[in-house]
Structure formats: C-alpha cells, structure tokens
Amino acid sequence: MSTILECKNLTKKFGGKNALEAVDLNISRGRIVGLLGPNGSGKTTLIKLCNELLTPTSGEILIGGYHPGIKTKKIVAYLPENTYLNDWMKVSEIINFFKDFYTDFNSEKAFDMLKRLNIDPQDKLKTMSKGTKEKVQLILVMSREAQLYLLDEPIGGVDPAARDYILDTIISNYNENATVILSTHLISDIERILEDIIFIKEGQIVLTKTVDEIRDEEGKSVDALFREVFKC
Amino acid sequence: MLRKLLKYEIKATARLFLPLYLVLLVFAGINRMFSIIHFESFNDSAFGGITAGISMTVYITLMAGTFVMTLVVLIQRFYKNLLGDEGYLMFTLPVHSWKHILNKLIVSMIWVTSSGIVALLSVLILVPLDISLKEFLRQIRLFGIQLMDQFGVGVYLIGLETVFLSFLFLASGILMIYAAIALGHLFNKHKLLASFGMYIVLGTISKIFLSVYALSIGHFENIENVGTFFESQIAFFLVFIYVTVIAAVYFLLTQYILKKKLNLE
C-alpha cells in the first residue's frame, strides 16, 4: 500500500514549548483515520503543519511525496476548526470560488449536499448560524475529489442528526484511494466509521493501531481504550 | 491564479467603494444645484439655507469618509482576509503567498487611485466649471510651457517618469503598511497595536536609510540642482533606486513572514 502522509521526526515548538515532539507517522492511502487526543495534545498543530499554515521547527512532512506547498494543496482538502467563510458571499458564490481555485471540485456534488441539508444556495453566508456555516464548510471540503482529507473537529458544532448525515457523507464521498484523517475528542460518535486510530498525547504519538486490532487484542471499543489511555 | 485572486478581491471591495463614489458624486451635484439656484434667492429663505447647509455638510463628510474608508479597507483586506479566520481558506488555496501580497497591493492601488480621481471629479462638479476649470487648465498649460522651455521635448518623458514614480511611491507606502501588519502578527498579544508600533519603526528605519542614501550620493553628485534635462534624469534614477529598494524589502519581509512565520489563531 502506498503512503499518502509521512512525518519524519517532526517537531514544532512555540516559544520554548514543544507542541509536537519527534513525531514519526506513516499513513496509507485509502484509510479512514481518527486522530484522537485530549484538548491541547497537538492534533490541530499536526494538521496545520500538513497545510503549510505552520512551518516545522525540525523534521519533515511529505504528502504524496511532496513537502507542503502548492502541489500538496491541490490534493489536500482541509476543514479547519475555525469558520473561514467571508461575510459578503452567497453560498452559490463560494461554490464558484472553490470551483475556480480547485480543479478537483465537483459543484454538482456540492449543490446536491446543500439540498439534502436544506441549505439554500442563494443564502448569504453572513446571515447563517454557526452550525449552518460548519455544514457549508464541510460540504465545500467533501465536494472536492481530493487524495487526502484533513478534517479538524468536523462534527463539533452540528446537531446529532446532521452529524450522522455528515459521517455518511464522509464515508460515501471519498474514493478508495483517498485517505480521511479526522481529529476529534467525540470518539463514540465517529467510532463506527474509523478504520485506524492514532492516539496523541502532549505532542507525542502514543499509539497507532487499526480498530480491528483494538477490538481483537484489547477486547475494547476505541472509546473505552481512549478513556483508559488518557485517564486523568 | 493571480487573475482569479484579483477577480475576487475586486468583487469584495467594489461593493464597498462603488456605492460610496456614486453618493459622493450625487451630493457634489446636489450642492452644485444649490449654488446655481442661489442666484434666484432660494438660499435667502430659511429652508433653502438650512437645506444647502446640510447638503454641504454631508458632502464634506462623504469626502472625508472616502479617504478614511480607502485606508481602512486597505488595512482590513490584508489583516482580516489573510491574517484573520479567512486566512485558513486563503492560505490553503494552491496559490503562492507572493501572489496574495501582489493581489492585495494591485487592488489597493486601484482603489487609492480611483478615490483620488473621484474626489477630484466631485470637486470639479461642485465648483462652477466655467471660471475655475478654465483657469486651472490655463495654469497647467503655463506650467507645461515653462517646463518645455527648460527641458525641451524631454518634458514628456519627465511627465511619464513622474507618474511612474508616483505609483511606485504609492506601492512602497502600501507595502510598508503590509509589512507592519505582518510584523505585528508575530506578536502573541495586541497584534493591531504591535502593527501600529511596527509601522512607526519601519517609517523611522526607512528615513534613516534615506538620509544615509542621500548623504552617500551627495559625495559625488549635487542632486539639489536639477536645472538640465540630464540632471533631472539622474535625480529620477536615484529616487527610483531608493523607492524600489525599500518597496522590495517590504515585499520580501512580508512574504517571508507569511510563508515561514504564519501562525493563524
């Protein structure tokens, strides 16, 4: 199986503090991976580094064989925690924006998902609730036919019904060569779709396993194992 | 990709400027109307006087507002769109970071220039054209003839160079603001305040650089006296070098911070 994301001895310091410490990671194509850890464990830092929103202090990241840059941005679909939507466009306009900048963007898919979630493409982004904005962002990201999806807390702000639809969308929308990495601490909600898990704690990877391994070897759910590993 | 960035940047800003320009011109027209009917003793009535007074106040406020808004939008589009939450979208587009800077710079230059032109236009509407405009044009022609006497046909070249240098000065001024905002972004707290401080620091440094530059040139060239065409060309060239160097430094500094030191909240 070929690798889509590789981290070699990746370290990121803020001031004198290590946010990530010597992280080695190898993620194959075609997997759904949960990046799990408590608040402040380095999940967002890792994802931002992959998107060139931060520069590593040392070590390196390779995505599809390239360091983060123009080439990787073309194949990575990123959902940040923040709402990045501006206040002057309509939904249909931001869809055109994505279509303009990403050649792998599928507008049909986007309009279809908007319809399913009852969002009017003519609505202004400005007037939307926070939850609706999150849905729009997720639709924009999942409408790309990317090779790597990096979703930072994708379900945090939406209601449980939409949560189910979104998770189904994630599973059904990506092709078998693409990898999805989700960061979250809401494990029980997403456990059913995960194939691999990465536990991260205080900037270090403490465990990487497939979900099947956890169930077979430990006889536990991911949620139960998480509670054990990160016991306060 | 720069073309696409420009398209969206112009869209995002035009919706703010175009209505303002329109209202400014309309109020210049209204004020002009009042000044015409003045002669028909409309302004002598209390109602007429108050209305004319209010419309003049509105016009002056709009005029000031146009300049304030040009500056505010220039800063906001860089600060909010690149270094605020929207930066998460902008910096994950498959676009080089220097194109983001160039995009903002070009569009800001367009709006600063058009605000100037529209303001001038509104003054021309407001002030009775027949007297002032003729006099204005006459003065320009006189000035042109004077220059012609001094420099000959080279005056056209000098005119072109003056326009070119003005735009270059404008660009370096805007890039200095961008560099100050980018530097302010490196601070953990009070980023806007830090940006303001950095603006003062950059201003001081470029003034020092200018003094050193002028002194070092002064050793072998007296540039104060631009009597002949040849001397004027040397002066233009020296100014050109100065502005280009500081503009380039601001650009590269901003680009470096956006590329290597980015840390969006």
What are B's interface residues with A at a Cβ cutoff of 8 A?
1, 4, 7-8, 12, 15, 81, 85-89, 91-96, 259-264
Residues of B in Cβ contact (< 8 Å) with A70? 94-96
Identify which has the larger pLDDT, B153 or A228: A228
Q: What is the mean pLDDT of residues B107-133?
A: 87
List the strands of the sheet with A3-14, edge to edge. A17-28, A3-14, A58-63
**Mean pLDDT, chain B, whole residue set:** 89
pLDDT value of position A168: 84
What residue in A sits closest to B96 (Cα-Cα)? A70
Residues of B in Cβ contact (< 8 Å) with A55? 259-262
Indicate yes or no: CB of A54 within 8 angstroms of CB of B263: yes
Q: What is the mean pLDDT of residues B139-145?
A: 83
CA–CA min distance A211, chain B (Å): 31
Q: How far apart are CA B198 and CA B178, in angstroms?
A: 10
At residue B147 the predicted structure's pLDDT band, cuts being 50, 70 and 90, is confident
Q: How far apart are CA A225 and CA A219, in angstroms?
A: 9
Residue with tokens 């969002």: A119
Q: What is the mean pLDDT of residues B56-84?
A: 95
Indicate yes or no: CB of B85 within 8 angstroms of CB of A82: yes
Indicate yes or no: CB of A70 within 8 angstroms of CB of B260: no
Please say if the pLDDT value at position B202 is more than 90.
yes
Q: Is A7 helix (H, G, I), strand (E, B) or coil?
A: strand
Please say if the pLDDT value at position B224 is more than 60.
no
At residue A217 the predicted structure's pLDDT band, cuts being 50, 70 and 90, is confident
pLDDT value of position A84: 94
Nearest CB partner across the interface for A84, out of B88, B96, B259: B88
What residue in B sits closest to A70 (Cα-Cα)? B94
pLDDT value of position B254: 98
Task: Quote the percentage of chain A above a pLDDT of 70.
Answer: 99
CA distances from A91 to A38, A87, A107, B80 (A): 33, 11, 12, 20
Q: Is B152 helix (H, G, I), strand (E, B) or coil?
A: coil
At residue A219 the predicted structure's pLDDT band, cuts being 50, 70 and 90, is confident
Domain total in chain A: 1
pLDDT value of position B66: 96
Question: Which amino acid is present at A52?
Answer: E
Q: Are A96 and A50 in contact (CB under 8 A)?
A: no
Residues of A in Cβ contact (< 8 Å) with B96? 70
What residue in B sits closest to A51 (Cα-Cα)? B92
pLDDT in tens, A48-59: 999 999 999 999
pLDDT value of position B73: 97
Nearest CB partner across the interface for B92, out of A51, A71, A85: A51
Identify which has the larger pLDDT, B93 or B41: B93
Residues of B in Cβ contact (< 8 Å) with A80? 88
Question: Which amino acid is present at B66?
Answer: T
Q: What is the mean pLDDT of residues B162-176?
A: 96
Q: How far apart are CA B77 and CA B86, in angstroms?
A: 10
Mutation test of the interface with chain B: which of A97, A133, A137, A140, choosing the one with the most B Cβ atoms within 10 A? A97
Please say if the pLDDT value at position B39 is more than 70.
no
At residue B65 the predicted structure's pLDDT band, cuts being 50, 70 and 90, is very high
Identify which has the larger pLDDT, A6 or B1: A6
Q: Domain containing A120: what range?
A: 3-229
Q: What is the mean pLDDT of residues B174-183?
A: 98
Task: Quote the percentage of chain B above a pLDDT of 90.
Answer: 63
Indicate yes or no: CB of B91 within 8 angstroms of CB of A51: yes
Q: What is the mean pLDDT of residues B59-78?
A: 96
A123-129 contacts at long range (C-beta below 8 A, 24 or more positions apart):
A123/A90, A123/A91, A124/A88, A124/A89, A124/A90, A125/A85, A125/A86, A125/A87, A125/A88, A125/A89, A125/A90, A125/A91, A125/A94, A126/A87, A126/A88, A128/A85
Q: What is the mean pLDDT of residues B170-194?
A: 95
Residues of B in Cβ contact (< 8 Å) with A52? 91-92, 262
**Mean pLDDT, chain A, whole residue set:** 91
The CATH number of residue A124's host domain is 3.40.50.300
At residue B129 the predicted structure's pLDDT band, cuts being 50, 70 and 90, is low
* Two tokens, residue B264: 């969006």
pLDDT value of position B54: 86
pLDDT value of position A120: 96
Nearest CB partner across the interface for B86, out of A51, A86, A100: A86
Residues of B in Cβ contact (< 8 Å) with A78? 88, 92
Q: Which of A3-7, A68-72, B210-214 has the lowest mean pLDDT?
A: B210-214
Please say if the pLDDT value at position B226 is more than 70.
no
Q: What is the DSSP letter of A70?
A: H
Cβ-based neighbours of A94, under 8 Å, separated by 6 or more? A85, A86, A125, A136, A140
pLDDT value of position B27: 92
Q: Tell me whether 0.90 is exceeded by the ipTM.
A: yes
pLDDT in tens, A90-124: 999 999 999 999 999 999 999 999 999 899 999 99
At residue B28 the predicted structure's pLDDT band, cuts being 50, 70 and 90, is very high
Please say if the pLDDT value at position B167 is more than 70.
yes
Q: What is the mean pLDDT of residues B24-43?
A: 78
Among residues B171, B169, B243, which one has the least CA distance to residue B210?
Answer: B243
Q: Is B40 helix (H, G, I), strand (E, B) or coil?
A: helix
At residue A33 the predicted structure's pLDDT band, cuts being 50, 70 and 90, is very high
At residue A130 the predicted structure's pLDDT band, cuts being 50, 70 and 90, is confident
Q: How far apart are CA B218 and CA B235, in angstroms?
A: 11
Please say if the pLDDT value at position B212 is more than 60.
yes
Residues of B in Cβ contact (< 8 Å) with A134? none
Please say if the pLDDT value at position B153 is more than 80.
no
pLDDT value of position B43: 55
Other CB atoms within 10 Å distance of the CB of residue A175:
10
